[in-house]
A and B are shown apart, each in its own frame.
Chain A
Amino acid sequence: MIRIRKPLLTGLVAALVIFASTATTTTVSWAAEKFIVLQSTTSTANSGLYDHLLPIFTKKTGIEVRVVAVGTGQALKNAANGDGDVLLVHAKPAEEKFVADGFGVERFDVMYNDFVFVGPPSDPAGIAGTKDAVAALKKIAAAKAPFASRGDNSGTHKKERALWKAAGIDPTQQSGAWYRETGSGMGATLNAAVGMNAYAMTDRGTWISFKNRGDFTITVQGDKDLFNQYGVILVNPKRHPHVKVAEGQAFIDWVLSQEGQGAIRSYKLGGQQLFFPNAKGGPGNM
C-alpha cells in the first residue's frame, strides 16, 4: 500500500533550512554599525585601490565604507539625491558645480593619475607614440578609425568630449559609424574596444589593472591635457540632514592626511604606482 509522504512539505522545509542558514551567515556582515556610503567613480574601485585603502581606514576608525561604484555622472546624481555621505569622483568642473549648487560642503583635491589612449597594434590612425592628445583625435577622425567612447556622461567621458571640442570635431555626428558610444562603464568600453579593434581613452589605473587587454597597447600618453584629478566632497547635511557628517568628515580627513596620502602612494599593481596623491590644504598636510 502506498504510504502518504509529503513531498511538498519536505521540499519547503529543505528550502527553509537553506534559507535560514544563508540568513545567519550574511547577517554577520551587517554587524558593523558605523558605516558611510561612498558614491564613487568606477576607476578607483575597479583598479583595486579601495581594497588597499579602506581596510586601513576601517581598522583605524571602526567606520565601514560602503562603496557604490558607478560612473561619475551617476555618482553626482545619486549624491545630489542624498544617496551617499561622501563623493569621490574625477570631473572637476562638475564637482565645483555640485558644491556651488549647495549639494556638497567643500571639494578637496585627493590624487591624480592620467588618461591614456589605447589602441590595436595595427594603429590605423598612425598615432602611436604621439604626446598631443588633440592632434591624435584629429588623426583618428581623419582616418575614420574606430573609436570607442564611454558615452555615459562619466568623468572620463566628460574629459573625452572636452578634448574633441578642443580639436574642433563633433564626433557624435559620426556616431554609429567610426565613433562608437558604448554607453557603459570603463571596463565594458575597454572590452568593446578590444573586441572591435577600436581606440579608446581610459584612465591609467583602470588600464593597468584591466585583464582583458588582448594585444592592445598605450598609443598616446604624457599630454598635460590628459591629467586626471580626483576630488572628494562631503554631501551637504544642510540639504540632506541624514548625512553622517562626523563619519564622512573622518574619512575625508583621513584620505587627505599624510597617512591616507601615503597609503594611496603605496598602492602598486604589477610594480606600477596607479594614483599620485596631491592633497593640498587638507587638514593632514599641516
Chain B
Amino acid sequence: MMKATIVTAPTSTNGDAVFQRICRASAFLIGILMLGIMLSLIMGAWPALQHFGFEFFTSAQWNPVTEEFGALNALYGTIISSVIAVALALPISIGIAVFLSELCPQNWSRPIYIGIELLAAVPSIIYGMWGLFVFAPWFSQGFQLWAGQHLAGLPLIGGMFQGPPMGVGLLTAGIILAFMILPILTSLIKEALSTLPNVLREASYGIGATQFEVIVHVLLPAIKGPIFGALILALGRALGETMAITFVIGGAQSISSSLFMPATSIAATIAEQFNEATGALQISSLIGLGLVLFMITFIVMGVARILLRRSAQQ
C-alpha cells in the first residue's frame, strides 16, 4: 500500500531510482546466469577433463564399455553439419530476400514473407520427423543413388559422396538444418535491404545500371556487415540444434570423409545418452561435451563481434 502511493506520486524521484535498480538487476541477472551455467558445466565436466586431460578434445574414442570418452566425433559432426547448413541456406535466403524486397510486386511480397515466418515457427522436432520419414527416403532414392553413380568417382570431391544410400547422415542433417535457418537468414537480410535508403537505388539506376548491377554491385555490398551478422546468428542456431539433428544424423560415433555416412553431433550425443548414462565418468564426459558446445558458440559469437566491428569501422 505504502509503495503504491509513492510510485504514483508525481513529485517523488524515488520511483525512477527503483525502476533503474530493477532494470539494472535484470541486466545483471543475465550475466550471473551465464556465469552460473559456465561454472556448473566446468564443475560437472571436471572429473572427465581431469581424467582424460586435453585428449578429451582430440580423441575420437567414445566407448561407454571401456569408459574412454573423447569429443572429436561429436565436434566434427556438429561443425560440418552446421557449415553445410549455412553454405546451402545463405545463397537461397539472399535470393528470397532480394526477390521480396526488390523484385516482387508489393501485394505478393507479404504472403510469401508470412510463409517464411511460419517456417520459423515450426518446432524443430517436426523438422526432425519430416526429415526422417519424408525427406530421407526421397533423398536416398533420388540424390544419393544418382550421386553414387555420377559423383563418387570424381577426383577430390568424390570421397564426399561415397557410401551406401541410407538417407540419413551428415549431408541430410546439414540440409535439414539449412531449412531450419532459412527463415532467420531471410528475414534478417530482408530487413537489412529495407533499411537501405532509396536514394542509393535511384542514383544507381540514374547512372544507367541494370537491375542485376544495382543488386549485385550496389545493394548487396552495402549490407555485407548485416549479412555476415545474420550468418553468424544462423550458425549459432545450427550448432546447438538438437532434436531435428538427432533424428537424421544417423547416430554413429565415427568420423568419415563421406557426407553420406552417419555421424553424430554434440547436442545429439547428449540427448541420446544422458538418460541412460550411469557411470560417473560418462555423465561427466557428456557434461564436458556441453561445455565444448558452449565454448564453440561463445567463440563463434566473439569472432562475429570482432569482424562486425571491423567492417563497421571501415
Interaction A to B? no
List chain B positions with a Cβ less than 8 A from chain A. Answer: none
List chain A positions with a Cβ less than 8 A from chain B. Answer: none
